A and B are shown apart, each in its own frame.
Chain A
């Protein structure tokens, strides 16, 4: 394989930009940029799998990412024993009943016909819904009453947080399977609309079901993953402090740099494994089949390929990768805050990354993630500086000036939209095009 110097230099430019941030702003800022960049790159890989390989339009990335975040809470937080005693069994029973009702309704739909079917399904669903609420509601009230200021939820399994990453992928895969079953095989627009909807609903559930993960009261203090130390432990360790002083750094900065570097190593390892797997998949018979389906569905179907089945498969895998990235992101934050999931940040920004980087090319998606994340973060200081310069001649209490300065934050949306449209129109193959 020959080295593609254009691509290498593109990555080198990104690395150079990060170093520049490290020099101008600080090493901490640069490393924070790098860490989120790595996670965004994983999300972009997942979306690229769906869009670049198969042409599936997923507008619900935010929902899958949030499910990954939920997984970290459910896996790693210590269980709240009192809450389990208060209503744990009843909640589990209610959830099982809910699943049973849906299964029964599906069976009724498959086995019966005509008016009997409609009536049976209505009866099952309506009766099931009331039974479910009758089981769930008292349990929820009991659980949320257990010291609501600090817990008020069931807690998690108390396992190491690294286990949450594959669990997050499983959660997202489950949701994706349900959506894919419904909307795949219909027009491509329907998948987009259905994913948009499921994302909104997942966020609504996470915000309102306090017994699950404390809703908007947030879960803070998630444990650290295995190799990453705590800043405070480092600062209290004499050997670390003396080493930091040897490098001419104060212990606080040095500890936070060390922690960020440890995260970066962990994330980079995951990213590299995923890229390797994605590249292998792309260049395998499976990858060629996916592209053949994408380029001409009828022809692929005529060759005996199960188009809808393959679409479902790749959609689930892509969503699972987004879920994994979501779990990693929440791990990095150390807290689960459902209120921060914004569609613009977690769905559309990832799309811009994939389109700009080069849809259909894994390295392109990764590059796009770093480039776009860099601009997303740096547009604000640049915008502030630009607005300050534009309005320098105006009086300080000029309403136009105040309004302009206030609105800098919204420039990001505009910039991202313009970038997306420009790339889509003039360079639809992106920075690193598909081979």
Chain B
């Protein structure tokens, strides 16, 4: 019985949150990795683009809510996501036209593009704060739980409850669908194949008649979708605050680099590696250990390896180790 309780506690506090967070990071890292593969720079504006997509979605959600449109028990935000994607796509294409295209033409060093993305980050951050303000916004509605902790206890007779929030399930399901569609697109369609060709060898791709501007446009469109979905899912699961999206930049970069920059499969793996390390290291293991160990071995403290304030240190430490030992990442990305 204690063993079962330990498993349930582990699932409740580590497995499910880790899966949800990992899916969000994976979606974010996919965007970073695609931009890196095709446009060949690390996009520092990524976190704030997520915030922008989520913001538009939130505004549309509020509008739907005021009209009384809903798809209860699912959150209304799911209905608003397409509008968020459209707005983000428009913004990204406009940024590319105004900012990045010039540097591509003059074949600027990647670091100049990175710096330009820093400027874009500033502007997007300003827009988001200007429109919706710097504070926390709540926009989740519909059923909060699929399984409630109390129901679970009554149902199984265990003393440990398992709570499954709607947002967590939606996150995982959506991430699986989005990733499946993305890989189908990259591997099966003509445009997807040309994107991969361009990413693998730019010169050969140009030689075989692939239009680079078209490839770049599709990349931004896909990134807009990924970024908006990731931003909305994160907002549903936790809450929407512009500054936290900026802070997500570090774990997202870490995920992309751990998996190997430019490698989509690696980005997904990296997202889960980072998420689970973060959750396990900052989780207080007292409960699980108390169930598993004999009574007189039970720990006194919380058995928390690091306080949650240091969760970014975890992704950073992993990043440093990967850079030191295997800079191309677990799945052999393109960059050294």
State the A residues within 8 Å of B (CB): 55, 57, 59, 129, 133, 137, 182-183, 186-190, 192-194, 196-198, 200-201, 204-205, 207-208, 343-344, 348, 351, 355, 406-407, 410-418, 420-421, 424-425, 428
Contact = CB atoms under 8 A, between A and B. Distances in A.
Contacts of A194: 319-320, 323
Contacts of B315: 197
Interface in B103-155: 109-112, 114-116, 118-123, 125-127, 129-130, 133-134
B133 A421 contact: no
B102 interface: yes
Contacts, number: 133
Contacts of B120: 417, 421
A411 B42 contact: no
A298 B253 CA distance: 28
Interface string B299-336: 00100010101101101100110011001000000011
21 contacts: A137-B301, A186-B335, A193-B250, A193-B253, A197-B319, A198-B316, A200-B312, A201-B313, A208-B310, A343-B246, A344-B122, A410-B130, A410-B134, A411-B126, A415-B126, A417-B119, A418-B119, A421-B120, A424-B116, A425-B99, A425-B116
B116 A57 contact: no
A200 B123 contact: no
A424 B115 contact: yes
B42 A192 contact: yes
A414 B126 contact: yes
* Closest CB pairs A-B (n = 9): A417-B122, A414-B126, A413-B126, A417-B123, A420-B119, A410-B129, A197-B316, A421-B119, A189-B42
Contact of B313 (A59, A204, A420): A204
Contacts of A351: 115, 118
A279 to B, nearest CB: 25
Interface of B: 41-42, 44, 99, 102, 109-112, 114-116, 118-123, 125-127, 129-130, 133-134, 246-247, 249-250, 253-254, 257, 301, 305, 307, 309-310, 312-313, 315-316, 319-320, 323-324, 327, 335-336
A187 B335 contact: yes
A427 B331 CA distance: 40
B129 to A, nearest CB: 4
Nearest to A183: B323
A200 B133 contact: no
Contact of B133 (A57, A406, A412): A406
A407 B129 contact: yes
Q: Give the residue among A129, A133, A410 with the most B Cβ atoms within 10 A.
A: A410
A186 B319 CA distance: 13
A189 B316 contact: no
B110 A189 contact: yes
A420 B118 contact: yes
Given A193-B254, A343-B246, 6 more contacts: A192-B114, A197-B319, A348-B118, A407-B129, A413-B122, A420-B119
Contacts of A196: 44, 249-250, 253
B307 A208 contact: yes
A189 B114 contact: yes
Contacts of B125: 344, 413, 417
A188 B250 contact: no
Given A182-B320, A189-B335, A410-B134, A424 B112 contact: yes
B130 A411 contact: yes
B26 to A, nearest CB: 18
Contact of B305 (A129, A205, A344, A425): A129
Contact of A417 (B102, B114, B121, B134): B121
Nearest to A355: B115
B250 A200 contact: yes
B111 A57 contact: yes
B326 to A, nearest CB: 11
A294 to B, nearest CB: 10
A327 B246 CA distance: 27
Contacts of B307: 208
Q: Give the residue among B41, B246, B312 with the most A Cβ atoms within 10 A.
A: B312
Nearest to B111: A188
Contacts of B130: 407, 410-411, 414
Nearest to A118: B325
A420 B122 contact: yes
Contacts of B115: 57, 351, 355, 420, 424
A421 B323 contact: no
A193 B335 CA distance: 14
A416 B320 CA distance: 31
B305 to A, nearest CB: 7
A208 B306 CA distance: 11
Contacts of B319: 193-194, 197
Nearest to B247: A200
Given A129-B305, A192-B114, A196-B250, A410 B316 contact: no
Contacts of A410: 126, 129-130, 134
A41 B123 CA distance: 24
Nearest to A186: B327
Contacts of B118: 59, 348, 351, 420
